DNA sequence: AACACAGCCAACCGCAAAGTG
DNA sequence: TCACTTTGCGGTTGGCTGTGT
């Protein structure tokens, strides 16, 4: 039994992509657009599985990708987003125009982790390293590590959050928050219940790319809420921020409520 | 020059979510 | 509702490159 492979592995190329393969993929997508990754390789004349094609396109060939080193602002933005979202690389990438989740993930693991450690901050929980781990019997009151007050781009500041009471009774699965929404540290629970905007939209045949484009741009939604993207709100706006060029952006991440 | 090691990053893998009939 | 397919995400791996010995 077991899961059937995503593609017939025999006769499939693996490993690094050649220039010829890149060109075939780019040409095909230029002509037909993204989507239907499963059938794309055959149609494009590639001996690759759809997943591989998608990854290559998303992480390397997309024309809108930003090349080059991360800026200091991007560093800080990633750190702040990670403190809120954890390893949700795709969500973080959605807030960094031109950057991919894979790129950010790699950058986190190779640079930022070290950077935080050198600052005496645990990259996993964004707390000072020497801060003792709370005992399991201690009442579940923790301080949310980072919270921002978005008064405006020039007024970025970190605010000290109210202590958050996070009691979780054993076996109590009531409420709307799923287990996935909860970061657990044994009995310690930080329930961010993030409402991340733009919400991951559902895919449909009519618009097969909607989820991905949403992930990428974080702004291609209709909505009536905020009109300023995250980077602006926390003061990291730059000219390349594509989100800001779209006037009707739904940005609900900051409506997160801490229970 | 040769080797060992570390850092980096593209790509792979497995799983879960979402879509479809 | 269910089974199956497709897509997307996050963790991990492997190979290339640079640096030190």
The rounded percent of chain A whose pLDDT value lies above 90 is 3
Closest protein CA to C1' of nucleotide B6, residue: A110
Q: Which pLDDT tens digit goes with each residue over A109-136?
A: 888 988 888 888 888 888 887 764 444 3
The chain-wide mean pLDDT, for chain A, equals 60
* DSSP code at position A41: H
CB-CB contact of A243 with A97 (8 Å): yes
Q: Report the candidate in A119, A110, A70 with the shortest Cα–Cα distance to residue A93.
A: A70
Find the Å distance, CA of residue A96 to C1' of nucleotide C9: 17
Give the pLDDT of residue A11.
67
Find the Å distance, CA of residue A72 to C1' of nucleotide C2: 50
Closest protein CA to C1' of nucleotide C9, residue: A90
Give the pLDDT of residue A116.
87
Give the pLDDT of residue A107.
92
- The domains of chain A, with CATH numbers, are 19-61 (1.10.10.60)
Nucleotides of C under 7 A from a protein CB: 5-12, 15-16
Nucleotide nearest to A213 (CA to C1'): C8
CB-CB contact of A222 with A163 (8 Å): no
User: How far apart (Å, rounded) are the C-alpha atoms in residues A65 and A76?
Assistant: 20
Find the Å distance, CA of residue A169 to C1' of nucleotide B11: 43
Find the Å distance, CA of residue A123 to C1' of nucleotide C19: 27
Nucleotide nearest to A51 (CA to C1'): C7
Q: Which pLDDT tens digit goes with each residue over A160-216?
A: 333 332 333 333 333 333 333 333 333 333 333 344 343 333 333 333 333 333 333
Nucleotide nearest to A88 (CA to C1'): C10
Structure tokens at A170: 């054993």
Nucleotide nearest to A209 (CA to C1'): C7
Q: Which pLDDT tens digit goes with each residue over A12-40?
A: 788 889 888 888 888 888 888 887 888 88
Nucleotides of B under 7 A from a protein CB: 7-15, 17-21
Find the Å distance, CA of residue A234 to C1' of nucleotide C20: 42
Structure tokens at A123: 């990259």
Is A259 a residue whose pLDDT tops 50?
Answer: no
């Amino acid at each position: 039994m077991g899961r059937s492979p995503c593609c017939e592995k025999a006769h499939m190329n693996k490993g690094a992509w050649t220039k010829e393969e890149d060109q075939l993929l780019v040409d095909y997508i230029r002509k037909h657009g993204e989507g239907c990754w499963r059938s794309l390789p055959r149609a494009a004349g590639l001996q690759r599985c759809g997943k591989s094609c998608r990854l290559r396109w998303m992480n390397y060939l997309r024309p809108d990708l930003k090349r080059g080193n991360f800026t200091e602002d991007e560093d800080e933005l990633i750190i702040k987003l990670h403190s809120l979202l954890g390893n949700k690389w795709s969500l973080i990438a959605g807030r960094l125009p031109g950057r991919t989740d894979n790129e950010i993930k790699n950058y986190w693991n190779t640079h930022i982790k070290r950077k935080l450690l050198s600052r005496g901050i645990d990259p996993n929980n964004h707390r000072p390293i020497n801060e003792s781990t709370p005992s399991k019997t201690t009442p579940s009151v923790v301080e949310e590590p980072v919270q921002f007050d978005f008064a405006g781009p020039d007024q970025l500041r970190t605010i000290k959050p109210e202590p958050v009471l996070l009691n979780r009774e054993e076996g109590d699965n009531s409420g709307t928050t799923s287990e996935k929404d909860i970061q657990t540290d044994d009995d310690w629970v930080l329930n961010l219940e993030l409402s991340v905007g733009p919400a991951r939209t559902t895919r449909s045949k009519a618009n097969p790319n909607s989820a991905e484009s949403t992930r990428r741009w974080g702004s291609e939604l209709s909505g009536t809420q905020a009109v300023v993207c995250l980077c602006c709100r926390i003061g990291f706006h730059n000219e390349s921020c594509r989100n800001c060029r779209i006037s009707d952006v739904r940005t609900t991440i900051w409506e997160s409520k801490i229970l």
